[in-house]
Structure 1
Amino acid sequence: MIILSPALRRASAAGVALAACLAASPAVSAATAPPATDRDRAAATAVHSTGTGTETGAGLDRYYRQRLAWGTCIQGPDDAMGRGLEKAGVRCADVTVPLDYADPRGRTITVAISRLQATDTRHRIGSILLNNGGPGGPALQSPPDVRKAMKEVGPRYDIIGFDPRFIGRSTPLDCGWPVGTSILSAGLSRASFDRQVTFQKGLADKCRATNASVLPHISTRNTARDMDVIRGALGERKISYLGYSYGTYLGTVYTQLFPGRFDRTVLDGALAPDGYGPRLLQGAEPENERALSDWAAWAARRNATYGLGRTRADVLATVRGVVAASARGLTVGTAPEVFRLDDTQVPSLITAEIADDTDAQRAALGEHMAVLHKAASGQPTRLSPQFAAALRNMLNGEDAKSAGAQSAIICGDKPAPRDPERYWRDIERSRTAHPLFGPLTNNIGPCAFWDRPREKPTQVRHDAPALIVAATGDPRATYKNGLALHGLLPSSRLITLKGSNRHGIYGEYGNACVDGKVNRYLATGRLPQDDQTCVKRAG
């Protein structure tokens, strides 16, 4: 599953939410001194005084100096996304980057980028690069939506979307997985957990068998290096950045590998680097329970529509009953499309859908729980096209390519514990207090069976004047993550949104306070003098 927030990401109803869910060296400019590793020395050597920050040395010249062939984003007659981008005036190109930055004369791959050029050229600020989270979320499609979110300041930027290496339209990765997510619950029994161990090991083995030569080079650090090549190829001395969720970790890594090369930086739904890794959601159980409880109160007021209970407690009891019934198997849908769900999958569906407290998303979860409640009672069920598509993605592997790529990134960033018994002990320890979420947040995943990362995780050693956005009730990147990142970056400023269980705020949630403060920063380049607070709108 991907940690993506809803609107700008166009995320699927069931497969999104999690996996990372969802940093390097002394404080000197990478233009004058290299970071610690050979790959960083290759990626951060001396800068020519050409006025564009073009790299030279270590065989990277050809990447930083490449000329981009901008053209249509349409890839075929059925490419609806490409047609939409074309209509919006977006152009696309491929950026060539080395597979291994320690061997820049070796194998190359491509990173797909898109550009919506500034129309207010007289007041142009520069380029802003987008990342929608994940890990492994594409952003090629995002420039038109981001321009709308930026309002009056949008026309002053070239807005650059990109699909990170091995994602979307970039050089692809196919692990051959049969499912669209690897983030599942351990279920209600030891037997269910043991099946998960076998399943997750099989996923890791399958991906390694077909991609052994590239997996060591799939990591956030290499994606950050690709971002700097994009910056150079665009002819920018510095580049601005807007990252959501996992994209905040990527943005933080970029600031550490390439200090002095970033301009205005917005990190929304922030992840603390020390907390990022294969077990990112461990410890987020209280925030998820609070979000579920708030949704249950919402659903109780609409019992006539969803039939889940007249009180918050009644709705939560219904949810528990559905999960218990799923241990025996739930069958939903009608022929010819019927799905069977178990107690590893139903908690995953619930967790995926509570990171957005808008009425539209709450209604979607209400509809889905009503279907599962009927199935648990042995009644026939009908699925909306949206719910059927979400289950198809999750259970039948329609989104399996992105699931494999996102696991490759997070497993390539930080090692996970190897011993299945450690996971089982954590599951059992958390189950009493958190019976629904504990077995999911502590479950084993493919990273337990992955090869060890080639590089050590990035450590934050450089300050960065970023604007951080965090909601107090965010069940994905919890508020304490935003506070921790803010503490690591003393020059940063924090916008706190109180009273919201939402993951991803700016430009998506409709909060005028947050949007106005972010756009003011993007327009002026000046951070607020102090940290700021906004409040969720009543409703």
Structure 2
Amino acid sequence: MRGRGTVAVLATVLTAFTGTATARADDGLARFEKQGIDWHGCQNGPDDEAGKELDAAKAQCAEVTVPLDYGRPGGRTIKVAMSRLRATDPAHRRGTLFYNPGGPGVPVTYLALMVKKAEPEVAARYDLIGMDPRFVGRSTPLNCGWPGAIVGSAGPDRRSFDRTTALARDLAARCAVHRDVLPHVSTRNTARDMDVIRAALGERKLSYLGSSYGTYLGAVYLQMFPGRADRVVLDSVLDVDRYGPDLARYQGPALAGVMRDWAAWTARHHDRYRLGRTAGEVLAVIDRIDRAANRGPLKVGRFRVDSRVLPMIMFNVTGGDSDEAYGSFAADVRVLGDAAKGIKVTPTPVLEQVLTGFSAPDAEGAAAVQNAIFCADRAASRDPEAYYRDIQAHRADEPLFGPLIRNLTPCSFWPVAPAEPPTRVRNDVPVLMVGATGDPGAPYPGQLATHRALTGSRLVTLRGAFRHTVYAGLFAPGNACVDRVVNRYLVDGVMPATDTTCS
């Protein structure tokens, strides 16, 4: 009896340490993990340009069935869409690499093709998987019928804050019709979907490349399925302990930093943009535009830019620190500066596109799903007064961006609570992290915090750069030093012995 009891205790201990890996036989997921995958072409109709390009690249597309609620795998199911680009060097194929560029709520089926184009050496060794997260893109849809996609900035005073509060409450109420689904629109469930697809593909492990929100998804996967991760790269890493509906409130110093860097660049190009010969003069123009919008809407072509919208336009300073990106933003600021003076202006093509997007309804449900993911991952404060006090406390040091990044969201009025607590990420799985010191979207102190939480990680730091995402030039200027380190890891499996700095 003693021997049998010892074995039973040992089995219990092993189960506790290995987590989900030892519970597969009776967790109800076998039928999902063993399902056949019906690969087909990617183009959905004559107007599907993304699908047409995927087909031209010889991609395959498919939909995989997964449980809506992993706690009830015998219940309702949904479809998760994905694309696959086969490794171009099958003889040296390493495995399957999942890609998620961020969001949350960004379709990925097409974007996997960007990795193939940017890094052919990686595409040679891996089948590239672009998975549309649940309820995103080509996956089973979720649409709350929002008349607009944004809450925006709280503006200059109590009245403007109350207007955005009413808007956030209304948007949340419109999602109540989906209250049976909303608790399951979570990052943890997306990670589970990834693991089902891994199994259905017949892969023992998966490799992963994620940026921005994709780094949080990757970190959650590592925490939930540590034994199933092969080579993992996290680019521009979010703070895993602060991730949630209020994540943006920690961006203030980083936003101020990139704005100063842009202002210095613009001052050096005064002859072209005429916004000031010093960084201080350029920043004074930003302040004048902000104060003008607080007094009343600016007329910009057919649009009206008020205090709710202006900070979101100014947020475009985070689009990258290349000459092209900074120049595009400077051109928009020049238009807004003239509008603030009462001059009749025509928006630049970029500004026209941005303002059109801000005024459009959430026709495809993308904004609602993005909010649903945040709300399912972590509960927000349901006290509007807490947000107003926070905004007021930071008006002096964050006059432009504070009312935007510290404002409440629909999560404060969300019709359902999260089904699970937030994931506490603490593990020693090997991970390669990359990030820029001036990243405005994933502030560097938060990257360091996640680096400490992932004790098996190595960090490649790009010094003096003000960009969000740094690897392969996928969304911001690339860096040859960073790319060499990452590719050596993905292709050859060589992890840096210590943290590394690039410039």
Q: Distance in 2 between matches of 1:29 and 1:501?
A: 50
Match of 2:349 among 385, 392, 403: 385
CA distance in 1, matches of 2:167, 2:11: 45
Partners of 1:395 and 1:63 in 2: CA distance: 41
1:128 matched to which residue of 2? Answer: 97
Runs of 4+ in 1 over 6 A off after TM superposition: none
Spell out, residue by residue over 1:294-337, the C-alpha distance to the aligned partner (whole angstroms, 9 max, x if none): 1111122223332322221111111111111112001212xxxx
Choose which of 203, 208, 228 in structure 2 pairs with 1:241: 208
Instruction: Give the C-alpha shift of residue 398 in structure 1.
Output: 5.2
Equivalent residue runs for 1:316-465 within 5 Å: 316-327=283-294, 328-333=296-301, 338-397=302-361, 401-450=365-414, 451-465=416-430
Task: Specify the alignment match of 1:266 in structure 2.
Answer: 233
Give the whole-Å Cα distance in 2 for the aligned partners of 1:278 and 1:94. Answer: 29
Matched, 1:137 2:106: yes
**Does residue 447 of structure 2 align to residue 482 of structure 1?**
yes
SS in 2 for 1:275: coil
Distance 1:59 1:343 in 2: 51
Q: Which residue of 1 aligns with 2:257?
A: 290
**Letter in structure 1 aligned against 2:15:** A
Give the superposition deviation at 1:45: 5.5
TM-score, length of structure 1 as denominator length: 0.87
* Paired positions, count: 488
Task: Give the residue type in structure 2 aligned to 1:178.
Answer: P
| CA offsets 1:334-385 (integer angstroms, 9 cap, x no match) | xxxx111211111111123324111121122112112211211112222333
- Residue 158 (structure 2) pairs with residue 193 (structure 1): no
After superposition, give the CA deviation of every residue in 1:365-412 in whole Å (9 maximum; x if it has no partner): 112112211211112222333322221111222566211110000011
Identical-pair percentage = 49
- Seen in structure 2, the aligned counterparts of structure 1 residues 461 and 296 have a Cα distance that, compared at 3 Å, is closer
Checking the alignment, whether the CA contact within 8 Å between 1:186 and 1:443 is kept in structure 2 is: yes
Q: Distance in 1 between matches of 2:276 and 2:484?
A: 39
Answer yes or no: is the 8 Å Cα contact 1:355–1:476 preserved in 2: no
Gap regions ≥5 residues in structure 1: 1-27, 48-55
Q: Mapping of 1:30-69 within 5 angstroms? A: 33=15, 46-47=23-24, 56-69=25-38
Q: In structure 2, what is the equivalent of residue 252 of structure 1?
A: 219
Deviation (angstroms), 1:35:
8.6
The residue type equivalent to 1:519 in the other structure is N
Written as runs of structure 1 = structure 2, the 5 A alignment for 1:152-167 is 152-167=121-136
1:177/1:400 contact within 8 Å kept: no
| 1:63 Cα deviation after fit | 0.7
C-alpha RMSD over aligned residues: 1.9
Contact 1:295 1:354 in 2 (8 A): no
Confirm or deny: 8 A CA contact 2:145 2:362 kept in the other structure. no
Q: Which amino acid aligns with 1:259?
A: P
Q: What do residues 489-512 of structure 1 show as CA deviations (whole Å, max 9, x unaligned)?
A: 111100000001100010112210
- Structure 2, unpaired ranges of 5+: 1-9
Which one has the bigger helix percentage? 2
Q: Distance in 2 between matches of 1:320 and 1:262?
A: 48
Which structure has the larger Rg?
2
The one of 177, 185, 199 aligned to 1:232: 199
Residue 471 of structure 2 aligns to a residue whose secondary structure is: coil
* Amino acid of the structure 2 residue aligned with 1:452: A
Q: Report which structure shows greater RCO (CA 8 Å, sep ≥6).
A: 1
Separation in 2, partners of 1:245, 1:387: 24
Compute the TM-score of the two structures, normalised by the length of structure 2.
Answer: 0.93
Which range is displaced more, 515-524 or 344-353? 344-353
